[in-house]
Amino acid sequence: MNNYFSRSKEEVLTEFNSSVNGLTDNQVKSYTEKYGLNELKEKEKKSTFIVFLEQFKDLLVLILIIAGAVSMAIGNIESTLVIFVVIILNAILGTVQHVKAEQSLNSLKALSAPNSKVIRNGNKIEIPSNQVVPGDILILEAGDLVAADGRILENYSLQVNESSLTGESESVNKFSEIIAEEEIALGDQKNMVFSGSLVTYGRANVLITKTGMDTEIGKIASLLENTQEKKTPLQASLDDFSKKLAIIILIISAIIFGIDVFRGTPILDSLMFAVALAVAAIPEALSSIVTIVLALGTQKMASENAIVKYLKAVEGLGCVSVICSDKTGTLTQNKMTVKKSFVNGKIIEDKEYNLNDETEKLLLQTSILCNDSSAEGGKEIGDPTEVALVNLGKIYSINELELRNKYERISEIPFDSDRKLMSTSHKINEKNLMLTKGALDVLLNRVKYIKTSTGVREITKEDIITIEKTNREFSENGLRVLAFAYKEIEENQSLTLDDENNYTFIGLISMIDPPREESKKAVHDCITAGIKPVMITGDHKITACAIAKEIGIFKDGDLALEGLELEKMSDEELKEKVDKISVYARVSPEHKIRIVRAWQEKDMIVAMTGDGVNDAPALKQANIGIAMGITGTEVSKDAASMILTDDNFATIVKSVANGRNVYKNIKNSIRFLLSGNTAGILAILYASLLALPMPFAPVHLLFINLLTDSLPAIAIGLEMGNDDLLTEKPRNSKDSILTKDFVKSISVEGLLIAIFTMIAFHIGLNFGDAALASTMSFSTLCLARLFHGFNCRGKQSIFKLGFKSNKYSIWAFLAGFVLLTAVLVVPVLQNLFEVSPLNLGQIGLIYILAIIPTVLIQAYKLLINDNSNTDKKNLSNSNKDKSIAA
């Protein structure tokens, strides 16, 4: 494209006027092809297929595929079908859940990507922002989101908030004057607007020069390429667990195969049994169950204002030990509110203004007239500090538009970040007044008089000391302070910078972005859960510390650092002190990455919140990146694992609780699957070592596998969370799922079920029939595993958990019980599943033997676990009461 930066304003305007009809349809089509939009759509289509293929990467699934191939080779069609149907269903389920999560994200993107107004074919039209292309003439007005980078052609007092790009909250004044290219290189680009910026005041016509990843915002994405995403603890743990389990099962299957061949069993029959054992022993439902539990976790979180992009990030949240949170909008309301004012030599609250007092009335009027924002009809447009002043007027039924119509603005000097002042002129009560607001340190040096309720007089040294002391008190309490003054001028005088002196001081107005009501409780819950909350903000250290103290993040003995202080510290020094630092102020994107890495080097799982483009690299570096759904940019959302639709810190804490519950349920499901499989393996090993007939036919193992490895395990994954979730400390992310205690409980429970299964087997043998013995052992193992589903719902007994609190477990048990009974009594099913006929006494005996392991396990939980958990809860409540009392 042409170099718009180096051309003269006249040249650009000439082109603008000659092509004001905008792009033709052919030009738009050309740009669409040039910028690869069609290719992008094709990539989106392929991505779903790639996601489907990725479902087969799991080691357990690969072993199942091999088992299915062996089964097919030896002609066992039923077994082959069962294996491949389970694998494909699992892959489809995983793909569907991924697509659903992406659809939720796309819905959120649609909310944050409004349409843009452009000139095309001589008409002003509105199109989706992602369809804006280079060469478009973009029309910007207050409240619009800039869709792409562009060169300002015509400007009408345009002010743009570029915080998404720079992190600075102050609006920037824009101009249409030509600036030399070398000046642009130095960062002086005030004749340009950039994608993702928000128009806070004025309007402009803009020639689009860059879109998509070519924009300034797009360039920051290159940082993301060098930032590696972290695996969640469950991903790492399951990968390790899958490898170990697969090796163990393959060894056991090989041993059984060898024993059978040694005993003279035909090789093909031995191979088929080894394959059936591998299929039964490998919990192939594990992947689908984990996916289902995670997917249900994402749905629950979505209903609580958290959209999760990656399913496994749900569990990662449950392992979080540090939350680095932005202040504005996340911990606070993102709405500046006037708190205290200083006028007539005294401090007054926002609702204590006396409009009968001339000075107080003038202060209020000045704050609204020397102001470019509006809050008409509930829609707030403009700088947040100016909006706060307009809202102050509304407390006293003062409408800003009516006041500005009454005292019309005659002339103005816009706010400038270097000058730190804004001035306007008006005719008020037959007097021509110049009204000015700005930073006290600048304005106080230009003040000559002071206005009080007794009149106007020269300002004294004592007045100045009092004003400065009040300003200092306001600032130390985290309040942002603006000073106001006025002077009389000539009628219709055009204001210049030379006029900004010899003022009469009126007063100070202070404001703050107040904490969200729920932030204090959320921070308390965070600390109770063993999670360290850290505030990272671009605001002043004093303001940040004041808010952090109020909500409980910053406590005695904690440290607060500014970006400049952080820069002087080495990585080693930061790592040493990082656990003592609760507040970081005035930080850059690089600082945020350093903070996250310092925690990660201490083996902490870090969640990081952010909304700007400059937050994206840190969001990706964090174990769990959390983007803001309302104020967040697209780049930050793309880099994050989770998006908050309400931008609320309390939602993060809820998500942590959900994540912990998800992990607990997944672990309980694994416990159910492995203890049941252990029982089957132990029973087969017992029979092999004692040279007994095989207790199960291959079809028995497949039936048990299908019946007990699906619905009961999923039902366990649907167990509701309880209040204890946030009283536990985060688990060590390096801990394997197969901890010593976990393996012990699986082994004991599996052995218990195996013992009663083999008792049923021996009873069948005593009746003199190996087929009957196999039927009784198969039925006992199957029903015992169904009963065992109730044991695996949690650590407590079923009486403590509540029998009806998980209706899915009841339905899963009843479904399995009915199917098993049907197999035992229906002749057609008896032949299909190689089951011998049973009399009522034998069926009753099977039911009794199957329930005994559950009775024993529940008795142990009732006597040991329930009392232990009650003591822990009482201790936790006692500590909480002491904390509150303190």
> To which residue do tokens 């009501």 refer?
517
Torsion over CA of 11, 12, 14 and 20, rounded to 10 degrees?
170
- Quote the CA–CA distance of 584 and 574 in Å, as a whole number: 12
Handedness of CA 669, 670, 671, 674 (dihedral sign): positive
Closest CA to 331 of 514, 530, 561, 578: 514
- Quote the CA–CA distance of 544 and 835 in Å, as a whole number: 72
Helix, strand, coil percent values for the chain (each to nearest 5):
55, 15, 25
Torsion over CA of 328, 330, 336 and 342, rounded to 10 degrees?
-80
326 is catalytic: yes
Task: Look up residue 825 and give its two tokens.
Answer: 């009594």
CA atoms within a 13 Å half-sphere pointing along the CA-CB vector of 235:
13
Q: How far is CA 545 from CA 340, 535, 585, 647, in A?
A: 19, 9, 9, 21
List the beta bridge partners of residue 139.
117, 205
Q: Which one from 58, 136, 144, 326 is the annotated catalytic residue?
A: 326
Residue 851: CB atoms within 10 A of its CB come to 16
Amino acid at 837: P
Backbone angles phi, psi at 321, to 5 degrees: -115, -10
670-702 in b/e form (b: 16+ CB < 10 A) is bbbbbbbbbbbbbbbebbbeeeeebbbbbbbbb
Cα Dmax for the chain? 120
> To which residue do tokens 């440290």 refer?
559
- DSSP letter string, 216-278: HHHHHHHHHHTSPPPPPHHHHHHHHHHHHHHHHHHHHHHHHHHHHHHTT--HHHHHHHHHHHH
- DSSP letter string, 553-584: SS-TT-EEEEHHHHHHS-HHHHHHHGGGEEEE
- Quote the CA–CA distance of 702 and 722 in Å, as a whole number: 36
Q: How far is CA 288 from CA 42, 95, 99, 658, 671, in A?
A: 28, 11, 15, 19, 15
CA atoms within a 13 Å half-sphere pointing along the CA-CB vector of 702:
26
Q: So which residues are the catalytic ones? A: 326
